[in-house]
Structure 1
Amino acid sequence: MTQNNHDSRFERGKRALAEIDGEGGEKVIAALADIAPDFARYIIEFPFGDIYCREGLGLREREIATIAALTALGNAIPQLKVHIEAGLNVGLTRDEITEVIMQMAVYAGFPAALNGLFAAKEVFAHRSEAEALGQERAA
């Protein structure tokens, strides 16, 4: 996703958020509407409108970096779950996500990696249930 100087940061960010985080991103923005709508706008404009739209890294690489950083923080499980889902949305495999999280044990410690792996397990299970439900409805 590249920046288009004719688009506003907000419009670029909305498109990027929808492509990367899908429903998860929209839920975060909606949850902020009644407490900090300006903060929701900042999330759309800066990370998604400015950073994610830069050239130099693809969305897969950006999500690898984000998953690694959130795992290493160790205290951002809700955000990590959103970005694990985003990683799947932009083409990362479950095995790739698991390997990224396991790699963080070396730099962030086993507790951070364990928390990340349990977050991934939850996201993968939820995604499998949603996919199964979708297949049932299609049949």
Structure 2
Amino acid sequence: MTQVNATDDARFERGAAALSRIDGEAGQKVVDSLADIAPDFGRMLIEFPFGDIYTRPGLDLRAREIATIAALAALGNAAPQLKVHIQAGLNVGLSQQEIVEILMQMAVYAGFPAALNGLFAAREVFAAPAR
């Protein structure tokens, strides 16, 4: 395991708070799922994206989730992560209709298959019991 210093602890604390606010239990489940194989990677997931990027000024959480949902849908191979971030979008104030529009927009830039897969992922998230 790598050594952790005070700067890393601050990044981790910032990241853990942001992860909880944005992804709730789903984000922590991803980190927990790495405990037996790559705990350092789980820590990196908290420190870098959430401790360093999500907490930067310049974009609010809604805008960051719009960008994240679009990027994950465009990738076309990240359905589990897309579902987590669709829920995160709902958590930070995006409406279901806004998420549908984001995913439909991906047909223009990422193709119809990516948009369709994104919409199917959204349907699953929207149908799940509220978190």
- TM-score, scaled to structure 2: 0.92
Q: Measure how far apart 1:104 and its partner are.
A: 0.3
Task: Tell me which residue corresponds to 2:111.
Answer: 109
Q: Measure how far apart 1:108 and its partner are.
A: 0.2
Task: Tell me which residue corresponds to 1:137.
Answer: none
- TM-score, scaled to structure 1: 0.87
Structure 1 CA distance, aligned partners of 2:92 and 2:75?
22
Task: Tell me which residue corresponds to 1:52.
Answer: 54
Q: CA RMSD in A?
A: 1.3
Residues paired across the two proteins, number: 124
Structure 1 CA distance, aligned partners of 2:19 and 2:130?
21
Deviations 1:71-92 (A, max 9, x none): 0000000000000000000000
* 1:41 corresponds to which of 28, 40, 43: 43
* 1:13 corresponds to which of 4, 7, 15: 15
* 1:123 corresponds to which of 117, 122, 125: 125
Deviations 1:6-64 (A, max 9, x none): x7000000000000000100110110111100000000000000000000000000000
Give the % identical residues: 75
* 1:84 corresponds to which of 83, 86, 90: 86
Task: Tell me which residue corresponds to 1:69.
Answer: 71
For structure 1, list consecutive stretches of 5 or more residues without a partner in the other structure.
132-139
Q: Measure how far apart 1:130 and its partner are.
A: 3.5
Structure 2 CA distance, aligned partners of 1:130 and 1:62?
22
Structure 1 CA distance, aligned partners of 2:29 and 2:68?
19
For structure 2, list consecutive stretches of 5 or more residues without a partner in the other structure.
1-6
Structure 1 CA distance, aligned partners of 2:91 and 2:63?
13
